[in-house]
Amino acid sequence: MAKKQESNRVHALVLAASTTALLLSFWMFVRSTVDASPNPNPGTANASECDTSGKQVVNVTEKIVQTVDSGEGGNYWAFDNLNRHIQVWQVNDSTYCALVQNEGTFDSQAGQKSPGNTGTLTGKEDGNFKGGYRATITGVFKDNPSWKTNGSVGTHDYQCNIAGSCGNYVSWVDQYFGPGAQFSYEWWGWTYRYKNNTWVNASDGNSGDIL
């Protein structure tokens, strides 16, 4: 009887050890999969992706109205109003890392192809979106930037039309960097929601639609 009890105890310990090892292996697999992703949270810009050990040279908010949004069908389908958070860190003498986060609302336009290109909009598919991008800027940071480097830089009305022409577009990069600055996206992504429908538009893949 004692031997049988001891044998059962040994079997139980082996089973527990095997289960622990299996769970650990599974966790390491999941973690490696997440860490390999350019951004584990589609629709957001992750501050940990920038080297924030350098000096932060820009930390401002901007409100944008009447900008226009494009979709997978190659057309413009909505007008957007949004709040933008712009952060820039200096990496070295001429290289900067930028994180821009946007959150706002979209006003779909009747007769336009839906953003996921699965149908035609009625104009009633109005909702909200959030997302952003990470970018590298190479160039000279202005000694006296055109915009303040902290706080709110105000509201800018882009005055766009549905054809994609924006009569009052303002480049935030030009406000802080001199002529010839090079701008390169490292990752970008936005998530749009209307009722129970979601469209994800990202550099690592699109999915869904708002219809």
- Express each pLDDT in 142-159 by its tens digit: 999 999 999 999 999 999
Listed residue (103, 176, 191, 98) closest to 136, CA to CA: 98
Give counts: helices (H), strands (E), the chain. 2, 8
pLDDT average, residue stretch 101-117 = 98
Please list the alpha-helical segments (H only) found in 51-187: 172-176
pLDDT average, residue stretch 129-133 = 97
For residue 10, is pLDDT > 70? no
Measured distance CA(111)–CA(120) in Å, rounded: 6
Q: What is the pLDDT of residue 84?
A: 98
pLDDT confidence band for 41 (50 / 70 / 90): low
Q: What is the pLDDT of residue 39?
A: 58
Measured distance CA(10)–CA(8) in Å, rounded: 5
pLDDT average, residue stretch 66-90 = 98
pLDDT average, residue stretch 95-110 = 98
Asked whether 93 and 137 are in contact (CB, 8 A), the reply is no
Number of other CB atoms surrounding residue 199 within 10 Å: 24
| Global confidence as pTM | 0.80
195 or 29, which is more confident: 195
19 or 189, which is more confident: 189
Measured distance CA(136)–CA(139) in Å, rounded: 10
Measured distance CA(90)–CA(51) in Å, rounded: 8
For residue 13, is pLDDT > 80? no
pLDDT average, residue stretch 64-75 = 98
4 or 48, which is more confident: 48
Q: Which residues contact 11 (CB under 8 A, 6 or more apart)?
A: none
Q: What is the pLDDT of residue 47?
A: 77
What is the domain partition of the chain in residue ranges?
1-36, 47-208
- How far CA 93 is from CA of 89, 90, 99, 139, 140, in Å, comes to 11, 7, 18, 9, 8
The whole-chain average pLDDT of the chain stands at: 86
Q: Which residues contact 75 (CB under 8 A, 6 or more apart)?
A: 112, 113
74 or 6, which is more confident: 74
Q: Whats the size of the chain, residue-wise?
A: 211
Measured distance CA(59)–CA(47) in Å, rounded: 12
Please list the alpha-helical segments (H only) found in 37-168: none
